[in-house]
Structure 1
C-alpha cells in the first residue's frame, strides 16, 4: 500500500463499499458516512466530519442527494487554511446541468463513469493536483496486458490500471487459462457488466446503458501479447 496520497470514500451509507475495499489495497483510504442535518438549502454537515475530510488528498463521493453533494463541495471550498490541495471526484450525479454546476468548482470533476478517468480526461487538472497522477497509476480507465502462449491460452493477465470498483480484475480472473477465441473478448465485455455498479445508481440521463459502456471501455484497454 502506498502512503503517497490519502483517499476518502464519502457516502450516505448506500454505495462506495466496493471502491473502498479495492482502493485501500493501493492507498491509505477511509470509508466515511457523511453526518448531516436538515433538508435542501438548510443542510448542515457536522463540523467534525468536515475537519476529517479536509485532510485527504482525494474525495470520491457516493451521495444520492444532490443538495448534500453541493453543500459538501461548497463547505470544502469555503474553508480557510486547507491543509492539502484537495480534489473531489463525484461518483453519483444526475443531469448535465448539475454536472456544470458542480464543475464550476475548479477542484471537482463529474465523470460519466469512474472507469473512464485517464490523463486525457483530467487534462488541465494534473498540474495543479499532482495526486491525480498517482491515483491514475492504479485506477481509472483500464489498461490490461493479456499474455497468450503458442496455443492462444491465456497464461498471464497484467492489470496495469483497474477500475476503482474492481470490476475489471474480478472479470479477468475468470478468464485465466481459457483459450482466446473469436468470441472471448466479446464475452469479457459482457461479463464485466455483471460486476459493474453504474447501472444500479440510476442517476444518469443518457440513453446509453452505462454497463454496456463499461464493457466497451474495458475492451479498448486490453492489449494482447504473446508470452
Structure 2
C-alpha cells in the first residue's frame, strides 16, 4: 500500500471519531470576574447550563496566581451535576487566613465542565472534551481608599531602555483591556499589582515612546474610558 493510500485510510478511520466529538459548550458564568468584599462572609458566582439536552459534571476550585490549589478560599459545592437548562450558585468563602488589608489580593476561580455520557453513545467512539473556565477572584479589604474604577487614572509610565515600567500606586490591582505606545499596540500585557509595578517591552522597532494610551477592565468586566498618559524618560 502506498503512503498516500495509508494516509487516506487513516483519515477515513478517524472520521467517525471526529464526527462524534463535541465540546462542553453551553456552560456560562454570571460574571467575568468576582470581587470578594472583605466585610462580607462570602461571594457568589452563578453557573448556568444553557444546553437544553446535555447535563454536565461541574468541578470548581480556587488557585493562587502561581497555580497552587492551597488557598485561603473554599468553593462550594466543589463538584455537582448541572442538568439541562438549570443554574447553580457557587459560594466562595474566605477561610479566615490573614491577607493584606492595605491592598487587593488576586486569586483564580476555576470551573471545569465535563460532559455526560449518554446511553446511546456508551459503545461508540466519542471524544468528550472537558472545558475549563478561569475567572479572576479579587479579595478587596474593607475601607481601601479611593475608588477602584478610578484607580487606573493614577498609573505612571517610565521608559527604561526598551522597556516601559508601569507603576500602580493604588491599592487596587489593574488589568489592561488595551495598551498602546505612540499609537502602536503593546500586545499582551499582564496585571499591574496593587502598590506594585510591571515592565512592558516597547513594540518591536521602537526605541522610545512619548505617550501611553490605555484602558482597563472595571469591576463589571467592561472596558474603562481610554486615557492618555505621558511616558517619562
Q: How would you bin the TM-score normalised by the shorter chain?
A: under 0.3
Larger Rg: 2
TM-score calculated relative to the size of structure 2: 0.26
Q: By percentage of residues, which structure has more helix? A: 1
**TM-score, normalising length: structure 1:** 0.27
Of Structure 1 and Structure 2, the greater strand share is in 2
